[in-house]
Structure 1
Amino acid sequence: MTEIVALDDVQNSEDERRLAIDKVGIKAIRHPVRVRDKSDGVQHTIAEFSMYVGLPQHFKGTHMSRFIEILNGNEREITVESIGPMLREMVARLEAETGVIEMCFPYFINKAAPVSGVQSLMDYEVTFIAELREGGEYVFTMKVVVPVTSLCPCSKKISAHGAHNQRSHVTVTAQTRGFLWIEELVQLVESQASCELYGLLKRTDEKYVTERAYENPKFVEDMVRDVAGLLNAEKRIERYVVESENFESIHNHSAYAQIVGDKRSTV
Structure 2
Amino acid sequence: MTDTSVHPDADPASLADIVARQPSAHFAALDQVGMRHIEMPLKLKLDGETCLLPAQVSAFVDLRDPTARGIHMSRLYRLSDEYLGRGALDVAGVRALLDAMLASHTGLSGRARLSIEFTLPLRRDSLRSGLSGWRQYPVRIDATLEDGRWRCEIGADVLYSSTCPGSAAMARQVVRQQFLEKFGSGQVDATAVADWLESPSGIAATPHAQRSRARVQVALADDVDELPLVTLIDLIEATLATPVQGAVKRVDEQEFACLNGENPMYCEDAARRVRDALDAQPWIADYAIDAAHFESLHPHDAVAQVVKGVAGGFGRSA
- TM-score by structure 2 length? 0.76
Partner of 2:150: 138
More strand by share: 1
CA distance in 2, matches of 1:28, 1:233: 34
Is residue 32 of structure 1 aligned with residue 41 of structure 2? Answer: yes
CA distance in 2, matches of 1:264, 1:229: 19
Percent pairwise identity: 25
CA distance in 2, matches of 1:261, 1:237: 10
Deviations 1:150-209 (A, max 9, x none): 111011011232211111110111000114522221121112325111211111101110
Partner of 1:60: 69
Residue from 230, 235, 255 that aligns with 2:282: 235
Alpha carbons 2:168, 2:206 under 8 Å: kept = yes
**CA RMSD for the aligned pairs?**
2.2
Residue from 22, 26, 32 that aligns with 1:23: 32
| Structure 2 letter corresponding to 1:85 | A
CA distance in 1, matches of 2:43, 2:294: 32
Shift of 1:14: 6.7
Deviations 1:27-82 (A, max 9, x none): 11111111132x34433211100010001122221122222221223352562342
Residue from 4, 17, 42 that aligns with 2:50: 42
Is residue 166 of structure 1 aligned with residue 210 of structure 2? Answer: yes
Distance 1:112-1:52 versus aligned 2 partners, 3 A rule? same
Aligned ranges for residues 1-267 of structure 1 at < 5 Å?
7-11=16-20, 17=26, 19-37=28-46, 39-56=47-64, 57-76=66-85, 79-80=89-90, 81-95=92-106, 96-133=109-146, 135-159=147-171, 160=174, 161-177=205-221, 178=224, 179=226, 181-193=228-240, 195-262=242-309
- 3-state SS of the aligned residue for 2:101? helix
| Structure 2 letter corresponding to 1:253 | H
Alpha carbons 1:14, 1:58 under 8 Å: kept = no
Shift of 1:10: 2.9
Alpha carbons 1:14, 1:59 under 8 Å: kept = no
Poorly superposed stretches of 4+, deviation over 6 Å: 1-5
Distance 1:163-1:10 versus aligned 2 partners, 3 A rule? same
CA distance in 1, matches of 2:279, 2:22: 49
Range with greater deviation from structure 2 (167-176 or 27-36): 27-36
Shift of 1:263: 5.3
Is there any run of 5+ residues in structure 2 with no aligned partner, and where? Answer: 1-6, 175-204, 313-318
Distance 1:15-1:98 versus aligned 2 partners, 3 A rule? farther
Partner of 2:177: none
- TM-score by structure 1 length? 0.90
CA distance in 2, matches of 1:137, 1:90: 15
Alpha carbons 2:152, 2:219 under 8 Å: kept = yes
CA distance in 1, matches of 2:21, 2:57: 25
Distance 1:48-1:168 versus aligned 2 partners, 3 A rule? same
- 3-state SS of the aligned residue for 1:191? helix
Higher-Rg member (1/2): 2
Is there any run of 5+ residues in structure 1 with no aligned partner, and where? Answer: none
CA distance in 1, matches of 2:230, 2:211: 20
CA distance in 1, matches of 2:27, 2:105: 18
Shift of 1:210: 1.4
Partner of 2:190: none
